Structure 1
Amino acid sequence: MYLIAGLGNPGGEYEHTRHNAGFDTVDALAEELGCRYWKNEGGALTAKTTYHGHELLLVKPQSFMNTSGGPVSKLMRAYKIAPDHLIVVHDELDIDPGTIRVKFGGGHAGHNGLRSICDKLGTRDWFRVRIGIGRPPGRKPVVDWVLSVPKNDAKDDFEHAVNQGAQAALFLIGNGLEKTQARFN
């Protein structure tokens, strides 16, 4: 079984913001895979499905970004999922809008959702699908940037990256890291 966790903040005021790229990507996966039923368990909304013979647990932690590690670690224990079967989808300031990057392991680069997962799991060795949102223009504060909804061309770039992220997560499960990086990075 693979656990695919999309990071974001619960609540209508955060819907489709840059910081909720992970939620939007998991929603795109759920739609593609025909998931209609979401269950509230372990502090997250979850949906179970299969993809090419692999069981998938789609997860949207409901504890807010900075404490995402609690629900993710709780569900990993409950379902006996090893860190090398965890795929975390999140927004990334240091990647251009409209693009994604896939990697295994690494630090948290100041991303509090990733920091929380690292702390709760006691390891940094899991897959990441990083959705590029770019840096804010001018002197706009980062917090205002990540909590804003992209408009016009930026919205198209964001939606493209979300859809690419969903495809990359599935491709990763079936084809491994090297082939996924060659195709999507």
Structure 2
Amino acid sequence: MFLIVGLGNPGKQYEHTRHNIGFDVMDALAEKYNISISEKKHKALCGKGVINGVKVVLAKPQTYMNLSGESVAELVNYYKMDPEEEMIVIYDDISLAPGNLRIRKKGSAGGHNGIKNIIAMTGTQNFLRIKVGVGEKPAGWDLADHVLGHFDAADRAEVEKAIGHAVEAAEMMITGETDAAMNRYNVKKKEE
């Protein structure tokens, strides 16, 4: 079994904001595989299904972003999963342009409070992740205002493509093809 967690904030006012890109990817996965993410448990909305022959739990923590680890730790403990082997976390990344992805096998929180809390609550930073680019905050903007804001039409079009790529990457990762997913979808760093 695999746990796939998309990060975001609950509530209508946060729908489709930059910070809720993880929820958008979960909705796309759920739609593609006809999984209903509606069961309220473990401080999350959850749904069970099968993707590429692998049993999955799709989860959207409802704790607000900064406490995402509370929900993730409950899910990992309840399903007796090893977060280092059986979990993917999907979330926004302001250091990537809208539409870009970066897949990692492990890493620090990189300033992302949701990831920081997951690392604290699960006791590991060695879990698979798909970071979806939402763009850097404009100069002079407050970070919270930026990540809680909506994309303009051009950026949203790029993000919709990225959501599809994140779904495909997750499909590959749960069947052990993380390296292939990284090769296919990771943005090549610009030459300095």
What TM-score do you get using the length of structure 2 for normalisation?
Answer: 0.93
Flag the structure with higher helix content: 1
RMSD (Å), alpha carbons: 1.0
Q: 1:175, CA displacement in angstroms? A: 4.3
Task: Say which SS state the counterpart of residue 175 (structure 2) adopts.
Answer: helix
Partner Cα distance (1:89, 1:127) in 2: 9
Matches within 5 A, 1:36-185: 36=36, 38-83=38-83, 84-185=85-186
User: Deviation string for 1:48-87 (max 9, x for gaps)?
Assistant: 0001221000000000000000111101110111112110
Unaligned runs of 5+ in 1: none
Question: CA contact under 8 A between 2:52 and 2:171: conserved in structure 1?
Answer: no
CA gap of 1:37–1:154, structure 2 versus 1, over 3 A, is: closer
Task: Say which SS state the counterpart of residue 162 (structure 2) adopts.
Answer: helix
Question: CA contact under 8 A between 2:93 and 2:133: conserved in structure 1?
Answer: yes
**What is the number of residues matched between the two proteins?**
185
Task: Say which SS state the counterpart of residue 20 (structure 1) adopts.
Answer: helix
Q: 1:137, CA displacement in angstroms? A: 2.3
User: Deviation string for 1:60-116 (max 9, x for gaps)?
Assistant: 000000000011110111011111211000000111111101111100011000000
- Paired-residue identity, %: 37
Q: Once superposed, which parts of structure 1, at least 4 consecutive aligned residues long, lie more than 3 Å away?
A: none
